[in-house]
Structure 1
Amino acid sequence: MRPIGVSMGDPAGIGPEIALKLVADRRCDVPVLIIGDAGVLTRARASSGLDVPIRTVASAQDCADATGVAQVLAETAMPHDLPWGRVDGRAGKAAYRYVAKGVELARDDQIAALVTAPINKEALRLGGHSYPGHTEILAELSGADEYAMMMANDELRVVLVTIHHALRDAIDSITPEAVRRAIRLTHDALRRAGITAPRIAVAGLNPHAGENGLMGREDLDIIAPAVQRARVAGIDASGPWPADTVFLRARTGEFDAVVAQYHDQGLIPVKYLGLERGVNITIGLPFVRTSVDHGTAFDIAGKGVASHASLLTALDHARTLAGLR
């Protein structure tokens, strides 16, 4: 069985600790290949009091079909004095290397899916890689022209039209083509996840979805035509719906997913339901990628108290999407 790859994330954050806790969890019953740093993982094991073997491998093919063991593809050898919980360019550079190696392995079908632990954007920039986030790195390295961020838990799925933009820029980036693309990617992703006839709600941009132009014309002139084009193409899309109620309607089962127009509009409802339950899924890539729904948590890094619940949820979604169930 091909392992699921887990990129370790920022070595100064909680990524190493939660990666170890993941493989130590009995619910993790598939082989996992941690793409990271064996020395950092050893330090994390000591600080968290875990009793999990750490084994380095030379390649993904050398990863044993075993669980309960931290099998590590060592991409770096970080200095022993790298402090926990601090922004460091060395850590940012290393985190990028882990993701890049994960993309390479996924594209070559050496891993069944890629699950990513959190990175720090400031450390990434100090390390010479300026990206708004994981999603943009993955899209560039994989050559994906069309992609989107889906945030999901067991009650709600949300896909974003615009991702990491300043709000003023996000509004300008909401075009009919951008909305249609998000709807289409959502439809295709839900079909691959086993939903044969996805029902997709599209959130409006303005209060009350614009009130027929009384509160802005974006919903009438941009979003509604995109929804109609999607329906003509055979997609069960509807809207634009007022954003203050559409997420509740989806949560209670009326829709399978909501397409939201900008970052906070879509992510606040998902994250309000609990960070430990959420997972970030990049749709449109040529491979399965999921991630935790939280950051590097520098305030608790190296203290042994980080929860791996979101990483376990991300692994669970990756297994489903990769057809490993």
Structure 2
Amino acid sequence: MRRFDYPAPPPSEITPEPVYRARRQLLGLGLASPLLALAGCAGAEDAAPVATAVAATDSPDGFRTREAPTRWEDVTSYNNFYEFGTGKADPARNAHTLKPSPWAVVVGGEAELTGTFGLEDFLRPHAVQDRIYRLRCVEGWSMVVPWQGVPLGEVLRRFKPTSRAKYVAFTTLADPVQMPGIRFPALDWPYREGLRLDEAMNPLTLLATGLYGKPLPNQNGAPLRLVVPWKYGFKSIKSIVRIDFTERMPATSWNLAQPSEYGFYSNVNPDVDHPRWSQRSERRIAGEGNRVFAERIATLPFNGYGAQVAAMYSGMDLRKWF
């Protein structure tokens, strides 16, 4: 018998497990091809990458980085938002069906003030602030994004969480009319995320309402999304419709789908690899000329925000609590 030894495929060519498990339903709908071709992310990590270190040049409070922002065209066209499709270009192509106004947010759980609030009432009276944050995707790519928004902690204090509140749970809109992607079981909808209460209260944590001085585009999570710059990008849940204060650690979508690959904390950590690729380096999306990605750079612990957040995890085994 003749034997052929084929090289192992790179991570960028591996189908995510939830999509693979949903293949029968997708095939039955005649829509499997674009989903099964999903690469997780173009430019994901290869083995033993050669990286160039990037010096941290942030402001002392971490609210601004001096690194060059990623172009508007790239920030708004290269996204993960499975509610509109699993390809990186799908959200920009399909998210026109989302209606971000009027919008309401339900606040529930362990707090003195709960109920349903229109978006303006939910955010009032807090002033919108400008932030420039690095965004690191677990798949190996990164951006630098000029956000506008309100610090999450300022908003949460208004609802007076009780002493029983230890975590904050977030839920995305799940409307099959506005979000055609949820007709397919790529994940267990609605999309859910969560933070420990001290993480939610950290000054870096932002409820974003805009980018580049404009309202959030639909594909970027309009009208309200979370931005947690020291965590991998999937923690920054989009199109939020519900926030709950909880005593127990809330279930989160990617942890439910693939618990060995996506932990609750999901802090950016170059020393803890994803099971299918290294996290030691990343490719910054550049979009210049014919290049999609700039040269590979070294990934920084906590995405470079260690001075502002590392103390929250003092004494924790960050390999166990990944």
TM-score (norm 1): 0.24
- Greater fraction helix: 1
- Greater fraction strand: 2
TM-score (norm 2): 0.24
